[in-house]
Chains A and B, each alone.
Chain A
Amino acid sequence: MRPPVYLDYAATTPVRPEVLEAMLPYLTTQTFGNPSSAHRFGRAARAGIEQARRQVAEAVGAEPNQVVFTSGGTEADNLGIVGAALAARERGAAMCAVVSATEHKAVLAAAHAVCHLGGREALLPVNPDGQVDLDALDAALADNPAVVSVMWVNNETGVLQPMSEIAGRCREAGAVFHTDAVQALGKVPVSVTELSCTLLTLSGHKIGAPKGIGALIVRDRKAVEAIIHGGGQQFGIRPGTENVAGAVALGRAAQLAAAEQPSSAERLGDLRNQLAARLKAAVPDLVVNAEGSRRAPHLLSIAVPGADSEALLMHLDLAGIAASSGSACSTGAVEPSHVLIAMGVPRDLALGAIRFSLGRETTLEDVDRAVEVVPAVVAKVRRLAGVLGRAGGTAVRRYDGTTGENEAVVDVGKKAMGGQTAKAPEEAAAVPPYRRSAEGSG
C-alpha cells in the first residue's frame, strides 16, 4: 500500500526540523533550568524564554513584553475571553463576551463560561459568505461588552474576517478586541500594529512547533485578569513555570512562519485551487463552501450532496487519505458543522462537509492522490446514504417484512431538526454551537 496522504494540516502539523533543533537543548542537560531561578541554570533558561518572546513578538508585530505563553490555543482563547470578562468585573463594568457564531469551540465555550461566572454572552451572526454581520456587531457594541472575539481565519472554511473594520469599531466603542489567529499565522500577513487588536491567540502545533504551546499577545495588561493562579510568572497573567522548550519552539516556528508567509501562501493557494477545481470537475455537484469569500490559502471545505461526512472520512482513511470534518467531537463522531450551519448552509448539505487542509509538506502528488481517490469514495458513500445515513430518507422495515404505515419513509435528518432543513443565520446563531462537542478539530 502506498503511504497515506495527510491533508489535515489545520488539525496539526509535524514539528519542523529547525524547530526541533532549537528546542532540544532546553529539554536536556544543557539548558534545563527553571527560568525563575536566580542561578546560572535559571538564567540560561530565562534567556531562551526571552529570545522566544522576541521572535513571537516580531512575527506578529508586537512587543516582546506583550507575549504570554500558554499551553496552547484553547488556553489562550480562554485567558483572552474569560480573563477580559474578569477584568471588566474588576473595573465595575459588565461581564459580557461577544463572539461570532463561527468561532472555534474554545472561544464559544469560553464565552459560555463567562455566563456561568454571572456574565453574559452574545453570538454575532455571520452572513452567507461567512463574514460577521457588522450591523449586529454595532448593536452588540452599544451594550458596552467587556470583550469581542472574532477569529482571523476560520478553521473550517478559511474565511477571512474584515479584521480592520471589526477592530476599528471595537476601538471606537472602547471594547477589548480579541482575535484567534491560530489559522492565520504563516498563511496571511498578521500584524497587531496594523490591526490594533488588544488580544491575539497563537498556537504552536499548527505551524511546526509541538502540541502544548501557544501564546496570547496581550497589548494592554489591564485588559485581562489571570484565570489560573500561582507564582507570578509571566507578569502574573499566566503563572506557572514556563514550558521553556515549548516556548523556544514556538519562537522559532513563528519566526519561520512569518518569514515564509508570502511564498508559502502562494504555493498553498495554487495547490488548494487545483484541488478544488479538479474535485469539482470529477464530482460536478460538489460544493466548495464559502467559495466566493476571501479565504486563507491552505483550507478547502467542501460539501458533497447526498453523502455523510462521517462515512466519507472513514472511507477516505481506509483509502489512505487523511482529511477531517470541520467539527469533530472528541469521540471522533461527526456533527454537522456549526460554522456551516451559521452560514445558512442547509443541514443536509452540512452533514456532507469535509475539510482538506494543506501544509508545508503538501506536494502536488498529494493533490493528485486526493483527486484520484475522492470521486470513487463519493460514489460509494452516496450509495450507502441511500440505505442509511442522516442526510437522506430512510425506509424503516417492520419485523414482519412489510413496511409500516406510519413509518414508511422517515427523513431522519428533518425529524431531528423538527422539520427544518435550513436555518436563517439569526436563528442558527441562537443555537449554542458548543453543544455536544467537546473539542474542535482545528
Chain B
Amino acid sequence: MSPRVLVAMSGGVDSSVAAARLVEQGYDVVGATMKLFCYGDDVPDRPCCSLDSINDARDVAHAIGIPHYVLNLEDRFNLHVIQNFVSEYSRGRTPIPCVRCNSFTKFRDLLAHADALDCDYIATGHYAVARDGGLYRGSDPGKDQSYFLWGIDRQVVARMLTPVGELSKSDTRAYARRLGLTTADKEESVEICFVPNDDYPSVLERHLPPDAPALVPGPLVTTAGDVIGEHRGYARYTIGQRKGLPGGSPSARYVVAIRPERREVVVGSAEELAGHHLRLEELNWLAPPLKPGDACEVQIRYRARAVPATVLVRHEDSLSLALADPVRAITPGQSGVLYGPGHRVLGGGVIA
C-alpha cells in the first residue's frame, strides 16, 4: 500500500499543485482545507468566509481524484492566532500571524488529524524544502517561505513533504495549467487572511475596547524626547514607517520605537533606525541549538536579506546576536530566523 499523505489545500495554486504532484508520485493523498476564521457573522444568509477558496480546493481535489474535507479550526485559530495578533499590537509590537498560524494551527493540528487518518506524512504548498528531517529555503529565491516556518515542531518537519519547494512559481503555474487545474492562474494572496483589505487596525478595533491605549491618540516624540505632535494610537504604527506621520519635517523621519507604557511613538532619522544587536525570544530549534560564539545568518523580515551574525548569549528561551552589518528597522514582534550552511533553517524566535 502506498504511503498516505494529508495535504493542506488552501484553494491556491501552490497547494493545488502540491496535491497533484503527490498523486502523480503515487501517494495515497487526502486533501483538507482548514477553515480558520469567519467574518460572515454579521451577514446571516450570505455564504460565510472563504467559501470560494474552499470550493476551489474541492474542485481541484475532485479533478485529481482525491477525497477532500474541511477542517474547522476556527476556535483554535482564534485562540492561538487572532488573540495573539491583538495582544501583540497592544504591546506596541508588529506580529506575524502567519508564523503563529504555522506554528500552532496549520502544522500541529494538521499532524493530529493526519495521525487519526493513518497518514504517514503531511504536505503543504509552501516554498520551502523539508529533507531528511531538516528544513531548507525554497529553491525560488523570490518565493522562499521558510521565513514563516521556523516555529513548527521538529517532529513535524520529519513527517513533512514539500512538493513545490523546489519549483519556481512559474513552474508551479505551468504545472497547474498542464493539468488544467482551475486554480492555475489564480491571483496570489498577499494579505493576512483574516484582515480584510489590509486594514489591520479595523481588526484591532473589533477586538479591543474603543478606549484601548493602543488605539487612542498619544504623544509623538523625537529620540531626544521632544514632543512634536500627536499620533493616532501606537498600534497603527510600525517600526521603519515613514508615510503617514503627522506634521512636516526638513529631513526624512521614521518611526524608530514604540513605547506602549507611555503610549509614545518615537521618530528619528534613518541612522537611528539601524541596529547592530538582536534579541530573540520564544525560540524554536529545527537543528541542534547554537551556542555562544557560533556563527549563522539571521533574517529579520520576510523580504530582508539574511545577514551574518554571531551568538552572544543563549538562555533557555532567548538568544542575543551581534550583527556583522547594521540592519534597518529591527521590529519587535517580527521573526528572526537563523540560517546555516546550505540554507538550512536552524531555528528562530520572536524579536524582543
Contact = CB atoms under 8 A, between A and B. Distances in A.
Given A331-B47, A437-B48, A384 B112 contact: yes
Given A384-B115, A400-B282, A331 B54 contact: yes
A311 B69 CA distance: 9
A387 B153 CA distance: 15
A412 B76 CA distance: 7
Interface stretch (B35-43, B127-135, B188-196, B209-217): B35-43
Interface string B314-337: 001100000000000000000000
Contacts, number: 104
A131 B316 CA distance: 59
A388 interface: yes
Nearest to A112: B44
A436 B75 contact: no
A335 B74 CA distance: 10
A438 B54 CA distance: 14
Interface in B117-147: 117
A399 B154 CA distance: 11
Interface string B16-51: 000000000000001000010010110011111011
Interface string A115-151: 0000000000000000000000000000000000000
Given A400-B283, A434-B44, A311 B79 contact: no
Given A398-B282, A415-B75, A415-B79, A318 B117 contact: yes
A396 B153 CA distance: 13
Contacts of B75: 390, 412-413, 415-416
A331 B35 contact: yes
A400 B317 contact: yes
Contacts of B35: 331, 333
Contacts of B283: 399-400
A310 B282 contact: no
Given A331-B54, A398-B282, A400-B316, A438 B47 contact: yes
Interface in A372-417: 380-381, 383-384, 387-388, 390, 394, 396, 398-400, 410, 412-413, 415-416
Contact of B46 (A113, A380, A438): A438
A50 interface: no
Nearest to A382: B116
Contacts of A311: 113, 116
A420 interface: no
A428 interface: no
A420 B83 CA distance: 20
Contact of A332 (B45, B69, B104): B69
Interface of A: 105, 109, 112-113, 310-311, 314-315, 317-318, 329-335, 380-381, 383-384, 387-388, 390, 394, 396, 398-400, 410, 412-413, 415-416, 432, 434-439
Q: What 6 A-B pairs are tightest by C-beta distance, nearest first?
A: A384-B116, A332-B70, A388-B112, A109-B45, A333-B72, A438-B47
23 contacts: A113-B45, A310-B71, A311-B113, A311-B116, A314-B69, A315-B117, A318-B117, A332-B70, A333-B71, A333-B74, A380-B116, A388-B76, A388-B112, A394-B76, A400-B284, A412-B76, A415-B75, A415-B79, A434-B45, A435-B40, A438-B45, A438-B46, A438-B48
